[in-house]
C-alpha cells in the first residue's frame, strides 16, 4: 500500500517534470504552445469539476458561469482600478466562490439532484450571460479590451504563450493536489458517499448540504481563478465567456475520464482535447466541423466501451500487473 503510493507520487512528479519540459521541444512554435496552454486550462477545469461532479455526483454544468465571473472580475479590477491580474484572478476566484455559495445554498437545501441540478446549473450560465450583456458598466455587447502593451508583468501581458503555459501548469498542479487532498480525506469520503447514496450517507452522519456546498465552492474558486487567466490570455473579456459549450465539455471530459478518480479528467483532457485540436488543425481547411463529428464519435465509443471512464483502462492495467 505505502510503496504503491510512493510510486504514484514519483510518477506524478515525473509527469509534471515532463509537462514542464514540453515547451522546450516546441519553443519556436506558438501554435503548439497555444495547444499546450489550452490542454492545461481544460485540465484545470475538468480536475476541479471532478470535485463536485465526480466525487459529490452532482452533474454540474456551470463551469462557464464561474469562468466568466473570474474573467470579468479580473478585467474590471484592472480596467477600473488598475489592480493587477495577479491579485485580480484570486479576487475572481473569491467572487465565483461567493456566487457559488449563494446558488448552492438553496439548491442543496431543497436537495436538487440529477437532471434537475444539471438544468439549474446550466441555466445559471445563460442567466449570467444575459446579466453581463445588460450590465453596461461592466459588460455590454462589445468586447472589453485589456491594456494592450506588448509586455507587462503587472498586467500579466506577454508576447509569447510560454509564460501563460507555465502559470496554467502551476494552477493545474495546485488543482490536482487539492483534489487529491480532498479525495483522501474525510470530505472526499463524504462526497463519494453522497454521490453514491445520499440518504445512506446522511444516516451515517454526513452533513449533505454542508459537504456539497464545500465541494461546489472549492470548484468555483478554482474555475474563477482560471477565468482570470483566461481573460489575460485572450486580452479581452466578452459575454461569450459565459459559455454553455465549455460548461458541457468540462462535464463530458470529467465523466469520460472516470468519476472521482483524481487523474481521470486530466487523462481524458490530454487525450481528447489534444486530439480534437490536432484534428481541427488537420481537417479545418477542408471540412469545417468534421473534427467535431469525429470527436463526438470517440466520446460515444468511450462511453460504450469504458463506462467507468478512461482511467479504468489504467486501473485494469495496474491490477493485472499486481
- 3-state DSSP assignment of residue 236: strand
- 3-state DSSP assignment of residue 22: helix
Asked if 279 interacts with another protein (CB under 8 A), we say no
Q: Given candidates 35, 59, 182, 206, which one binds another protein under the rule CB under 8 A?
A: 206
Smaller CB separation from another protein, 80 or 109: 109
CB 58 to another protein: min, Å = 15
Which grid cell sits at 19? 509537462
From the list 7-15, 185-193, 240-248, 298-306, the region that binds another protein by CB under 8 A is 185-193
Q: Given candidates 205, 285, 286, 321, which one binds another protein under the rule CB under 8 A?
A: 205
Is 254 buried (19+), middle (13-18) or exposed (0-12) by CB count in 10 A? buried
CB 194 to another protein: min, Å = 9
Q: Given candidates 208, 223, 246, 272, which one binds another protein under the rule CB under 8 A?
A: 208
Q: Tell me, what DSSP letter sits at residue 136?
A: T
Q: How far is CA 220 from the centre of its chain?
A: 9
From the list 39-47, 170-178, 206-214, 290-298, the region that binds another protein by CB under 8 A is 206-214
CB 29 to another protein: min, Å = 42
Asked if 189 interacts with another protein (CB under 8 A), we say yes
Between residue 40 and residue 99, which ones bind another protein under the rule CB under 8 A?
none
- 3-state DSSP assignment of residue 74: helix
Smaller CB separation from another protein, 143 or 199: 199
Asked if 260 interacts with another protein (CB under 8 A), we say yes
From the list 73-81, 138-146, 195-203, 310-318, the region that binds another protein by CB under 8 A is 195-203
Asked if 272 interacts with another protein (CB under 8 A), we say no
Residue 238, sorted as left (phi over 0), alpha (psi -120 to 50) or beta, turns out to be beta
Cα separations in angstroms, 187 against 2, 46, 174, 203, 214? 21, 19, 18, 16, 9
H-helix or E-strand spanning residue 316: helix 311-321
Contact 259, 309 (CB under 8 A): yes
CB 255 to another protein: min, Å = 14
* Integer Cα distance of 236 and 246 in angstroms: 17
From the list 100-108, 182-190, 230-238, 280-288, the region that binds another protein by CB under 8 A is 182-190
* Integer Cα distance of 124 and 103 in angstroms: 9
Cα separations in angstroms, 115 against 47, 90, 121, 228? 21, 31, 10, 29
Asked if 104 interacts with another protein (CB under 8 A), we say no
Q: Given candidates 200, 281, 303, 316, which one binds another protein under the rule CB under 8 A?
A: 200
From the list 81-89, 184-192, 250-258, 265-273, the region that binds another protein by CB under 8 A is 184-192
269, 245, 241: which is closest to 255 by C-alpha?
269
Residues that bind another protein (CB under 8 A): 186, 189-190, 192-193, 195-197, 199-208, 259-260
Amino acid at each position: 500500500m505505502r510503496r504503491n503510493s510512493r510510486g504514484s507520487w514519483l510518477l506524478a512528479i515525473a509527469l509534471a517534470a515532463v509537462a514542464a519540459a514540453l515547451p522546450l521541444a516546441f519553443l519556436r512554435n506558438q501554435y503548439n504552445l497555444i495547444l499546450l496552454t489550452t490542454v492545461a486550462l481544460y485540465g484545470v477545469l475538468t480536475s476541479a469539476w471532478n470535485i463536485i461532479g465526480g466525487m459529490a455526483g452532482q452533474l454540474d454544468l456551470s463551469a462557464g458561469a464561474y469562468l466568466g465571473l473570474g474573467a470579468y472580475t479580473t478585467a474590471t479590477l484592472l480596467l477600473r482600478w488598475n489592480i493587477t491580474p495577479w491579485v485580480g484572478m484570486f479576487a475572481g476566484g473569491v467572487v465565483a466562490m461567493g456566487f457559488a455559495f449563494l446558488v448552492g445554498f438553496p439548491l442543496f437545501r431543497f436537495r436538487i439532484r440529477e437532471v434537475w441540478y444539471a438544468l439549474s446549473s446550466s441555466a445559471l450560465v445563460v442567466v449570467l450571460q444575459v446579466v453581463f450583456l445588460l450590465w453596461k458598466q461592466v459588460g455590454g455587447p462589445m468586447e472589453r479590451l485589456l491594456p494592450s502593451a506588448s509586455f507587462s508583468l503587472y498586467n500579466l501581458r506577454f508576447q509569447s504563450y510560454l509564460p501563460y503555459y507555465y502559470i496554467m501548469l502551476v494552477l493545474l498542479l495546485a488543482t490536482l493536489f487539492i483534489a487529491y487532498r480532498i479525495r483522501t480525506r474525510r470530505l472526499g469520503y463524504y462526497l463519494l458517499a453522497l454521490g453514491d447514496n445520499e440518504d445512506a450517507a446522511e444516516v451515517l452522519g454526513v452533513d449533505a448540504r454542508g459537504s456539497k456546498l464545500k465541494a461546489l465552492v472549492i470548484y468555483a474558486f478554482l474555475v474563477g481563478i482560471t477565468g482570470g487567466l483566461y481573460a489575460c490570455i485572450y486580452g479581452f473579456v466578452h459575454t461569450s465567456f459565459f459559455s454553455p459549450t465549455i460548461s458541457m465539455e468540462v462535464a463530458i471530459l470529467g465523466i469520460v475520464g472516470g468519476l472521482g478518480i483524481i487523474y481521470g479528467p486530466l487523462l481524458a483532457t490530454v487525450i481528447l482535447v489534444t486530439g480534437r485540436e490536432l484534428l481541427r488543425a488537420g481537417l479545418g481547411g477542408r471540412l469545417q466541423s468534421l473534427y467535431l463529428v469525429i470527436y463526438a464519435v470517440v466520446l460515444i465509443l468511450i462511453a460504450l466501451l469504458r463506462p467507468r471512464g478512461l482511467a479504468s483502462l489504467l486501473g485494469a492495467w495496474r491490477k493485472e500487473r499486481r
